[in-house]
Amino acid sequence: MRHVFTRGIAALVLFAFALVPSAVWAASTFYGEAVHVSTTNIKVRDPKTGQVLSFEILPHFDQIFSPDGKTTYQMKDVHEGHYVAIIYDQKALGIRHADKIYVMSNANQRIANP
């Protein structure tokens, strides 16, 4: 009886994921200037629109790259005033969190393939 209940719950969970639109699971990109950087979050302001977004950062976050994706950085290398590109999603309880951070160069070019 216990196995039937467990399999039923698993089937319901899989069915629920199938109903969620793919746009909800898609990652988004936000470009801007880092306004606040700490070990748990980063706040970025888009200089064109003035929009400010805050992103949660998980412990031991190590997905920080140069714009070409070849050079990696540590979180201590990201400072206020740096132009960054954040690839993020809101899967975990609707909280906006960073999946990858790209530290942009002085040219502030867009990342080619996030």
Q: pLDDT tens-digit profile of 40-50?
A: 999 999 999 99
Topology of 27-103 in CATH? OB fold (Dihydrolipoamide Acetyltransferase, E2P) (2.40.50)
Mean pLDDT of 9-22: 48
Please answer whether residues 65 and 73 qualify as being in contact, where contact means their C-beta atoms are separated by less than 8 angstroms: yes
**Residue 9 has what DSSP assignment?**
H
Tell me the C-alpha distance between 45 and 11, whole Å.
Answer: 42
**114 with 100: CB under 8 angstroms?**
yes
Domain ranges of the chain: 27-103
Does residue 9 have a pLDDT over 70? Answer: no
Q: Is the pLDDT of residue 18 over 90?
A: no
Tell me what the mean pLDDT of segment 83-102 comes to: 88
